[in-house]
Structure 1
């Protein structure tokens, strides 16, 4: 009977040695970060439920259910880390092949759905509804669920759970990567859509797009690194579990620190009117239409017979009523005549003689 490594009990199964082996501490380090990630994800989910009533911006409130689902996916990634720290067996094999792609597809689908509504917001268009964003996130991730179920069922031949432990290492790694082709497509599509959020006149939403852009940039770098190491072929097979466990922990913390944390900082900020187009034109100054007569139809016949006033005689007042001020013809005199004294009609009477 072989002795257990330092830090592990003699009664523990050798499958779980990586969880407690102090001489090979990578498992202990990764499970510590994974446990911290689980606690942090739960704290963010509880905070999201508490702060949902304080969100003033309706467009930010619509994305909260999708972000909650995203946190569930991140929580699952940290929990799945323990299935990779534990050695590959008939139980952890199907779990690894099924949940790895499903959880990452769920996280990337939520980010992709968020970019769709951001693309509309930065261009001043109406954002997607709450149910539409959530439906897009779940719909995109459902495709990977179908792919994973079909692969696991066909590979296991319904009952053979030992097939993953009996499979050659090269074939095991190649099948694992091939199973994630749709997830790679989601990553590339989400990254392209995050770049398109920078094209728009409403700059307030571009900061949200920058969060997704940086998250995808670091995620792509992590995935390129681990796929290259896994398919390189020169590393010993004992490093497979270490590489994949590190990917789960590293990418999970990238999701939390580069997307969730900045989004929480902006979540309860006051709604900025400059982030939206003018919904009405009541406060926007406009030039009133210059008219040459009264709009009342009772005066229509008079306007036809007399003709409109000349444009030069109309005084334009932008915010006045429809009765426009007009110049009147100054040639006509409408003043009241004053009374004048008249001389006697007999003053110059020729028949009058002096002295008679």
Structure 2
């Protein structure tokens, strides 16, 4: 990829371009350039709106979710950058657009795929990616690509003084670390999907289990589509365009389309759905709390209201000092209230069939 070859990709001026517009901006007026700008612009605006919604929600979420919200904010920031990056490929390669192409391409995808990898680790329960440490893992993973791209720019472009003259294969090899992140995130997502599918629950955790299955499926689908996009653009860039005689005419359009397509895959598959999960209120039980009004312990003696009356603990076996049975000898400190059948949680106690003379029928005569 060199300046002369890319700048002369289109010898005729598009119909929508003015005569004063420089040749390196002609693709902005071409049909494919306008289509890419429209689709990428819509994706960029969508990312900004989601980030604003997440920032407003971030002040209300619990501390347990704040770390995941910060990592999601980094992911949306990277996705917005991916939607803005096609403009540096629509404009012809120059010393001004070269650093954006070489540096920002890998860093933005490293940040996005690093966020997906950290989310998968957090869903698996890895302690390293829990809470605010998830955002730290995302930044640490993206920092590696920052170092790789910076060294490549300094060594290849500055020390060798090559003026952005690099081949398509070299540009693809610069993204090896990003491909490793993509593969690791896909492996983590598949493991979480397997774990969510083989786990069974029959209690209140069933709703959480269904939500985990949905999250795992969306994460794996997003990563699989991203793998397909990367396989297509790398194959076309390194072999397909040259084999069909379309290189370098189709090189920049291929990357622009790949950036826009992968941006929408990331936005719809993970960004939008995760914001919906994050903004969803916590589930609350529909049943009202139990009302234990009037139920007191044995040691307390509250003022007896009008609807309270004294009663015996068990009148079937209650005896007093003179040997009489069945008398209402109330236990001190115990108050009773008439409660409805819906709130009746008492345990029935056994009673004899003959309270006055319990053994007469057994012996057949009076003892």
Q: Answer whether contact 1:106 1:137 (CA < 8 A) is retained.
A: yes
Name the structure 2 match of 1:98.
103
1:40 is aligned to 2:38: no
SS in 1 for 2:167: helix
- The CA distance in 1 between the partners of 2:24 and 2:128, in whole Å, is 50
Cα 1:216–1:273 shift into 2, 3 Å = farther
Normalising by structure 2, what TM-score? 0.66
Name the structure 2 match of 1:237.
248
- The CA distance in 2 between the partners of 1:176 and 1:92, in whole Å, is 14
After superposition, residues 141-290 of structure 1 pair within 5 angstroms as: 141-158=142-159, 160=161, 163-164=163-164, 167=165, 172-198=167-193, 199-200=195-196, 201=199, 203=209, 204-232=211-239, 233-234=242-243, 235-272=246-283
- The CA distance in 2 between the partners of 1:13 and 1:265, in whole Å, is 44
- How far the C-alpha of 1:158 sits from its partner, in A, is 4.8
Name the structure 1 match of 2:289.
none
Q: Deviations over 1:216-252 (max 9, x none)?
A: 0100000001111111122321100000011111111
Cα 1:271–1:146 shift into 2, 3 Å = same
Normalising by structure 1, what TM-score? 0.68
Structure 2: state its 5+ residue gaps. 1-10, 200-207, 286-367
Q: Answer whether contact 1:54 1:268 (CA < 8 A) is retained.
A: no
Q: Answer whether contact 1:115 1:194 (CA < 8 A) is retained.
A: yes
Cα 1:32–1:118 shift into 2, 3 Å = same
- The CA distance in 2 between the partners of 1:266 and 1:30, in whole Å, is 30
- How far the C-alpha of 1:155 sits from its partner, in A, is 1.1
What is the alpha-carbon root mean square deviation over aligned residues? 2.3
Equivalent residues, number? 259
Q: Answer whether contact 2:128 2:134 (CA < 8 A) is retained.
A: no
Name the structure 2 match of 1:86.
91
Cα 1:133–1:20 shift into 2, 3 Å = same
Name the structure 2 match of 1:63.
68
- The CA distance in 1 between the partners of 2:237 and 2:128, in whole Å, is 41
After superposition, residues 23-34 of structure 1 pair within 5 angstroms as: 25-34=31-40
- How far the C-alpha of 1:83 sits from its partner, in A, is 0.1
Q: Answer whether contact 1:191 1:217 (CA < 8 A) is retained.
A: yes
- The CA distance in 2 between the partners of 1:270 and 1:38, in whole Å, is 27
Q: Answer whether contact 2:47 2:76 (CA < 8 A) is retained.
A: yes
